[in-house]
Every structure is written in C-alpha cells, then in structure tokens.
Amino acid sequence: MFFEGSEKKVEVVVNSEVNLLSFERSFWEELVLNSKAQILSSIENSKTKAFLLSESSLFVWEDRFVLITCGQTTLVKAIEFFLSKIPSNNIASLIFQRKNEYFSHLQKSSFLDDVKALSEEIDGTAYRFGKMHEHHNFMYCSNKEYTPSVEDKTIELLMYEISPEASSFLNKTYEDPKIIRDFLQLEKLFPDYIIDDFAFKPQGYSVNAIKDDFYFTIHITPEEFNSYISFETNETNSSDKLQGLMEILKPETFDVVSFNNEEGISIPDHFHKRTKVTSTINLGYDVIFSHFYNKETVNDRPYILNIKESK
Amino acid sequence: MFFEGSEKKVEVVVNSEVNLLSFERSFWEELVLNSKAQILSSIENSKTKAFLLSESSLFVWEDRFVLITCGQTTLVKAIEFFLSKIPSNNIASLIFQRKNEYFSHLQKSSFLDDVKALSEEIDGTAYRFGKMHEHHNFMYCSNKEYTPSVEDKTIELLMYEISPEASSFLNKTYEDPKIIRDFLQLEKLFPDYIIDDFAFKPQGYSVNAIKDDFYFTIHITPEEFNSYISFETNETNSSDKLQGLMEILKPETFDVVSFNNEEGISIPDHFHKRTKVTSTINLGYDVIFSHFYNKETVNDRPYILNIKESK
C-alpha cells in the first residue's frame, strides 16, 4: 500500500477580533476531523498550541493557525469548516499550498478542484511555483490587502530519496519515537524546544516542537522507493539546523520554499540548482521555490517496479 | 478543457507465422476503437501501413505494429483485443510505454493498473526510467527471450514548453494542415516520405509519414501553458532531423528515449543534462532515457493559473 507523503498546508491569519488560543480543543478536533485526520497528542506553551495528527500537524497561535495534512486527507474541508465558523471580515489572510504528488489519481481532489472550492469562499490568486512535470508547489492566496509582520518568516525543506542508510534505519517499526528523535539529533539541533513525536506502524515518524511562538515540524515517509521527509519552521536563523538535517538524511533531491526568508539555507557543493522561482505574492510575502538535485547521480539506472506488491 | 498530450505507446512484434499486413482494415479499426480512438485517414506502401488517429497513430508492418494514443484513451484495451486474437506463442515481444502525465487523475487508469492488466496476459517486467517527481517514462516489457535485429532502432523526442513564437503560431485553427507542415519544414527535413497529416480544431496537429519501412510521426498539443510535441522515428540517421525540429520549436525542456540508437541526437549548448538513465532491458534493447533543460531559464517566475477557465 502506497502512502502519499506530499503535504497540503494552509495558514490562516485572523484579525485582532478573534483569539484562536481561546478556542476549545473540541473546535480543533472537529476541524481536523473534517480533513479526515485525528489528533494523536498535543503540547502547548503560553503562545502556541501544537497538535500531532494521524496525518501530520496543526499549530495554533492567537492570530493564526497552520494545518498540514498528507495521505488522502481532504484539507480543503477543514478550511471550509473554519470559514463557516469565522466571519469573513475577520480573516486577514489565507495561503493554501499543495505539493507535487506521486499519485495524484489516488487523491480525493486535484489542486484545481480545491481552488474551485476555496474560491467560492474567499477571493484569491492561484500560482504554480516550478514546472508542472517537475517538482513544484501550488499556492492559492487570498486577494485581501495584507502586510506580513517583519518577524513572519517561514522556511520549508522537502527532501526526496534519502540515503539508503537513513532509509534503512527509518524504514522500521519502533515502539519508542525517541530512537528516531535521537537519529535525527533533534534535541541537539533544536535545544530548548518542547518536543512531541510519534512513531507510526509499520513505519513513519512525525514530530511537532515549540519554543515561545516558534515551531518546527518534521514528517517522515521512509519507504525506500519513494522516501520523503518534510521539515518546516518559522525560526529565523535556521540555516545550520536545515544543514544538520541534510547531513543526516542525504537526500538525492530537495526543494526549499521560503516566505520572507531568502537567507534560509546554504547549499552543499554537490547539488545543482535546477530551478529558482521567485515572486512577491499578492499577500506581500517574497516567496522563493527552489529545486536542487545531486549532480553526482545524473547517470542512473531504471527503477524496476515490483508488480505483485504494487497497489 | 485540458487535453493530455502525453502518450501511451505499444510495440508488438509477432513471429513469422503471422503477417500483420494481411489483416483487413476492419481489424485495425476495431483494435483502435478498443482504445477509444478512431481512424481518420491512412497511407501505405508495400512495407508499411500508417493510420492517423483521432488521438495519435497506428503503424503496421508484416511483423509488428506500433500504436500510440494520447488524451484519455485506453490503450491497454487495444492490446488486450490484439492478444485475444493472436495466439500467445506467436507474440515475439511486447513493449508498453507510458510517459509522465500532467493530470494523471483524469486518466482512466494508472500505469500500475495497466501493468496489472497486461501481466494477466503476458509475463513481463515493469521499469521506470527517470525520477517519479520529474520527467520519466514507464515501460512494461515482455519476459520472453528476444533478439532485436540490427536495424531495429527507434528514437523518441518529447519536447515541452516550445517557444512563445512557435506556440502562438501552432495554437490557432487551420483548415489546411499544410500550413503547419510547412512551418515544421517537414518536406525539407524528410524528403521522399509520403505524408499524411491533420489539423485539429480548435488546435493541434498530427502527422504520419512513411518511406519503405521507415516512419516518423509528430503530435502537437500547442496550448501555451502546457505545450507538448512528440516526435518519433525508426530512421537510423535522424540526428539532423531532430535538430531541425528543435531549432524550429525551441523547447524549454525535452526528453530523448532511444532503443539501440545512442548516437540519436547532439544537444545544443544551452541545455543541461538533468538525468540519463541507461539499461539493457530484458528484450535486448539498449534503452536510454535522457532529460534536458534550458539552463538559461533556471531563474523563473511562477505561473498564475486562470481559475475561471480551469477544468
């Protein structure tokens, strides 16, 4: 059975008339259920709540939430639920993202289906960063006037085809998620974070972590033929952390998506930049989508599919 | 309405007990109908019959046929029809190919669905040439022992995102296909070929051409946001012809798939080789899949989707 690791993500910002931290847990449970995911566990501090989900993560602050879901989830249904509860004049901005998928035919909806549904609720602009037949990132952004705060920076690092060693270590069943947390050196790379993680069966790993109003999250789909690991954070100086993860996981290709965070990451020498798509989107963020590949493995062999085990 | 240009293709070789040229036209009509395409016109010489289809092409020789279909066709149904009519011990080899698609969720089946169906009929091996999230070519090849003849060479050139000038010229409705034939300089590049071509409405163009037992075929999906042009031939010295087409169409990226035809094409300087996947497949062909991109346009802007016109 194939599991689609590629995520959908939404970030919704509300104005000062709404305080999302005051919402009951039952509200977020219902929101998440609308996307066909469930809350597994949660952590919080005075500024941030973080929910670990059966398919990825939810983070909530006073003025915004970030919901990330993978697999065959229906994230747009969760957005529709939220928009049905909050008056539209209290919505300051909405960004919906969807990454290139392995098997889009197994998805409940296409990006264009999602955009059709969202555009009924909130006027917006739809972008594709990157080429259709290569790595890319779809984005739907509300058209309301909006000015991000200076500290509002995000970086997403999407790693594909990690090293055989990392894949082999991660592609096992672990009772204790700490084994994976240690493999990733999370407590060393991210000191002072409260960490909440989960090891899935038969394989897979998710972690949420918070410190003040900073967060990071990692989701691992370790299956050898399509390993995929996503990382994202709103920390401003995270370059060494991203590099630390890259050194442990050694992906063959990776994408970086940054919002007002160009300095984000320095690229190891053996990677070649395939594409760099830059734009100041309608919401005032400088968005950069870059895709890199390992230039040492340009010459390759075909992948032989296992017919019997294929879905 | 989006049209999927990416093709599926099958080449079936039969042994000397079967002469495919002796088959009635009605047989090929029924075969093609099984894939949900129709014959529009045909040409023939003493060695080759070529049928232009509503979705691509069919070529027939004494010992083999090549069927290429695009859009939402069900090529595997046509293969199943053929295999139901010809005893399996008369099948010498079968190669089924499927290219990366824009919108796999609009397809009637996935490659794995196709492989499942084909493997019920004929034992084979399934390959993926190229990375899943980038340009790639799926291949299912029968496992019977087979030795291709020395002259059996094929080259496929798949061009994406042709120049705005070429796209704008081709993305029009023409009554007379000769206007496009002349634009492509086909009579100059391929002298002595019998040509059969068709201009689709509102846009699109297909051409079949034969000379002795040589063929070439071109299919054009000119729509600006996803222009795609495929060319293939079994001519052995076709490098200058491929380059001629590349100079006219100026694609941003292209793939070359060759079967026992490595010399195939010399690459213009401004292209960078992203990947070269090489293998001698089980049927004895040296297969090379290469993908190239224009290194002058690595820095790019996002594509803005037209929400209202999107399907």
pLDDT in tens, B174-209: 999 999 999 999 999 999 999 999 999 999 999 999
**pLDDT score of A287 more than 90:** yes
In angstroms, what CA-CA distances link A263 with A154, A160, A246, A285? 11, 22, 16, 14
- Tell me the shortest Cα–Cα distance from A36 to chain B, in angstroms: 20
User: pTM of this prediction?
Assistant: 0.90
| CB proximity under 8 Å: B 158-217 to A | 160-161
Is A107 an 8 Å CB contact of chain B?
yes
Closest by Cα among B132, B160, B257, B238 to A252: B132
Tokens coding B132:
């899943």
CATH number of A8-297: 3.60.90.10
pLDDT in tens, A161-195: 999 999 999 999 999 999 999 999 999 999 999 99
Number of helices and strands in chain B (H, E): 7, 18
pLDDT in tens, B226-251: 799 999 999 988 889 999 999 999 99
Band of pLDDT at residue B309, cut at 50, 70 and 90: low
Q: Which residues of A touch B277 (CB under 8 A)?
A: 299-302
In angstroms, what CA-CA distances link B300 with A275, A281, B3, B270? 7, 14, 25, 16
Q: Is A142 helix (H, G, I), strand (E, B) or coil?
A: strand
Work out the mean pLDDT of chain A and round it to a whole number.
Answer: 92
Strand bridging mode A228-233 / A154-160:
antiparallel
Is A1 an 8 Å CB contact of chain B?
no
Task: Describe the crossing of helices A75-85 and A111-121 by its angle, rounded to 10 degrees.
Answer: 0
- The pLDDT of A255-261, averaged and rounded, is 94
Q: Which residues pair with B277 in a beta bridge?
A: A300, B289
**pLDDT score of A262 more than 70:** yes
B269: enclosing H helix or E strand: none
Task: Check CB contact under 8 Å for B134 and A132.
Answer: no
Count of A–B CB contacts within 8 Å? 122
Task: Check CB contact under 8 Å for A132 and B226.
Answer: yes
Cα A5–A9–A12 angle (5° rounding)? 165
Band of pLDDT at residue B103, cut at 50, 70 and 90: low
Q: Which residues of B touch A115 (CB under 8 A)?
A: 305, 307, 310
Band of pLDDT at residue B51, cut at 50, 70 and 90: very high
User: Can you give the pLDDT at residue A311?
Assistant: 40
Nearest Cβ partner for B105 among A110, A273, A275: A110
Q: In B35-124, which residue ranges form alpha helices assigned H by DSSP?
A: 75-85, 111-121
Asked if A69 contacts A128 with a C-beta cutoff of 8 angstroms, the reply is no
User: Can you give the pLDDT at residue B231?
Assistant: 96
- Tell me the shortest Cα–Cα distance from A48 to chain B, in angstroms: 32
- Tell me the shortest Cα–Cα distance from A178 to chain B, in angstroms: 31
Cα(A35)–Cα(A8) distance, integer angstroms:
11
**pLDDT score of A103 more than 70:** no
Handedness of CA A221, A224, A226, A231 (dihedral sign): positive
| CB proximity under 8 Å: A 9-28 to B | none
User: Can you give the pLDDT at residue A108?
Assistant: 73
Higher pLDDT, residue B266 or A199 = A199
Is A307 an 8 Å CB contact of chain B?
yes
Using a 10 angstrom Cβ sphere, with 0-12 exposed, 13-18 middle and 19 or more buried, the burial of residue A241 is: buried
Higher pLDDT, residue B92 or A99 = B92
Q: Which residues of A touch B132 (CB under 8 A)?
A: 102, 226
- The pLDDT of B97-111, averaged and rounded, is 76
**pLDDT score of A205 more than 70:** yes
Would you put residue A193 in left (φ > 0), alpha (ψ -120 to 50) or beta?
beta
User: Can you give the pLDDT at residue B133?
Assistant: 85
Nearest Cβ partner for A303 among B115, B128, B134: B128
Band of pLDDT at residue B110, cut at 50, 70 and 90: confident
Residue in A closest to B116 by C-alpha: A307
**pLDDT score of B296 more than 70:** yes
Is A293 an 8 Å CB contact of chain B?
yes
Closest by Cα among A102, A15, A23 to A63: A15
- Tell me the shortest Cα–Cα distance from B3 to chain A, in angstroms: 14
Q: Which residues of A touch B126 (CB under 8 A)?
A: 304-305, 307
For B142-158, give one letter per residue: b (16+ CB within 10 A) or e. bebebebeeebbbbbbb
| CB proximity under 8 Å: B 46-75 to A | none
DSSP letters spanning A37-86:
--EEEEEE-SS-EEEEETTEEEEE-SSEEEEEE-TT--HHHHHHHHHHHS
Give the type of residue at B277. V
Higher pLDDT, residue A207 or B307 = A207
Higher pLDDT, residue A222 or A59 = A59
Q: Is B175 helix (H, G, I), strand (E, B) or coil?
A: coil
Higher pLDDT, residue B127 or B102 = B127
- Tell me the shortest Cα–Cα distance from A19 to chain B, in angstroms: 32
Best B2, B100, B133 member to test A by mutation, with max A CBs in 10 Å, is B133
Asked if A259 contacts A153 with a C-beta cutoff of 8 angstroms, the reply is yes
- Tell me the shortest Cα–Cα distance from A291 to chain B, in angstroms: 10
Strand bridging mode A271-280 / B299-300:
parallel
Write down the residue that tokens 């555009």 correspond to. Answer: A119
| CB proximity under 8 Å: B 255-274 to A | 272-274
Nearest Cβ partner for B274 among A298, A301, A305: A298
**pLDDT score of B311 more than 60:** no
User: Can you give the pLDDT at residue A166?
Assistant: 96
**pLDDT score of A238 more than 70:** yes
Task: Check CB contact under 8 Å for A134 and B134.
Answer: yes
The DSSP call for residue A125 is E
User: Can you give the pLDDT at residue B102?
Assistant: 65
Is A120 an 8 Å CB contact of chain B?
no
* Biggest distance spanned by C-alpha atoms of chain A: 57
pLDDT in tens, B138-175: 999 999 999 999 999 999 999 999 999 999 999 999 99
Give me the count of residues in chain A: 311
Residue in A closest to B310 by C-alpha: A112
pLDDT in tens, B1-44: 456 778 899 999 999 999 999 999 999 999 999 999 999 999 99
User: Can you give the pLDDT at residue A203?
Assistant: 92
Q: What percent of chain B has pLDDT over 70?
A: 95
